[in-house]
Structure 1
Amino acid sequence: ISTLRVVISINIIISASTHSSSVKGKERSLTLPAEAKSSLFVLVDTKAVLLCPPDNSTAFLVIWTISPRDQPPCTRAHRRDNNETSERNCTDERISWESRPDQNPALQIDPVAITHDGCYRCEVAAADGLFGHTYYLRVLVPPKVTLFRGSDGTIVCRAAAGKPSAQIFWTPEGDCHTEEEPLGNGTVTVESKCRWEGRQVSNVSCSVSHVTGNKNLNFTLNQGVITLEFPASDLLIILYVKFSLFLVILVTVGFIYFKKANDCRISL
């Protein structure tokens, strides 16, 4: 049993002595309901409100234990009997009571940051028992998605600094290589490079799947890339046609020039 639970239990016993009642000569006993647990996913830079159930008129003590990942825990408490609020080791100003704790013991985080990942536990001591709810808070960060041509000629789809990591899909499928790079703050950059050699592809699409939403980007391959993707036989045909057109134009221009020069001599 944690120190906080011991303190709360003592307060329950003391308070129960003033709130207890007798039924057929037997004192009403305190019960400890099963604690509720839930996962809470919150988008970064938004406001999160964590409720502290239940709405019990006999509650006289509320304690929040805030344990962000890789940080020391912080404790916020409120006693209704003397309207006293206290805190210990709480330095993050973004975490506070949503309103007056004597009216609403909910906790708020505004705005939510990546560092707020962690465990948030609410304990309520009331005349009829000890109630608790633990939230496992997970902060979601949408990735920044870009689609561009890399220095090596590949088409690159990048989902930068997302949490959790994103998934990348290509249409049409190509010769692709995908890598993930953890950034140290819980976010991950995913980068996929693709080629479509040997195929007549003019447009490609990159689809990024993420829990915060999906994105699709299109890329039009330029003429140079398309030409490089033709087979060698097709390249020879294209070169032959271009050379033939050049000869036809050259002969036509030459014929017109010499004809005009000959007409000038006759008129003289």
Structure 2
Amino acid sequence: MLSVLTGDRGDDVLDEVTTHEWDDDGTAAGLRFTWIGADDDAANQGAARLAEYLIADHGKLTAIGSGFLGLTKVSAAQMNPQLTRAYATSLAPHVGEFVGGHRREFESLRVQIADNPLALRNLLSVFVADPEPGRTAIEATHAAAEQYEVAAAAAPPDSRESVAALRAAGALLGAAYGAVEMADSDIPTPSSGPATSEMAVRIATILVPADPNAAILSKYVEDGRLMSPAAVQNKFSDTAMRTYYLDVQNYIGTKGFEDGNNTFVAAFKDSSGVPLS
């Protein structure tokens, strides 16, 4: 199957499979792609190839001719929901590599997404047309973004590695938000402001236990750990939350994450295609 995807007719084969109206909603066809979800070189190559196809043809895949004379326009996710769900499940383990990482099989795809930040949003839009694969894909972007945020906190502040990790996290979350907004979907994903606040809390949560002087965050520290947003809301009030998030962002800025924070916000905006409010 890998040789087919990476061969001269790879795009044609994927198009034939994806746009054919299968009697079983694409269940059997979807089983042919489960190997892409593995963690090996072949799976990586297959994932990159499938992602490139979905990016290139995302417009077509949101309006495929169906029914009498093809006059009815439906999305690939509506035409073959089981196939689209199989695609989403297979690509989910690899999403983080689309915007960062070092696996060479994704190098061309990473360059493509760097050159066109909306490419990842367009890929996700194919899945968001159906709530089930949409949730699979969006939750995968959230998980990958969290891993990058943790990596940013572990790297030297404002180092190339830290800033790159926050750029990747912002790109993932922005693409998720943009895809959901385009589809007017109710799949939960944060807009720029909440995403930035959650990122800052995640980094501060990692930094505070090793910081003998949390300074501006001292009132939010209990037993050497940063209080969660829910704990702050419970102890103080709803109105205290804005101050809490501002203090957390100020704190990580003083710890050397200002450039990373700004890069996160810029990447989110670029990949979402949605103006920041």
Structure number with higher strand proportion: 1
- In terms of fraction of residues, the more helix-rich structure is 2
Instruction: Please classify the TM superposition score into its range, dividing by the shorter chain length.
Output: under 0.3
Q: Which has the larger radius of gyration?
A: 1
Flag the structure with more relative contact order, 1 or 2, with Cα contacts below 8 A and sequence separation at least 6. 2
TM-score (ref. length: structure 2): 0.25
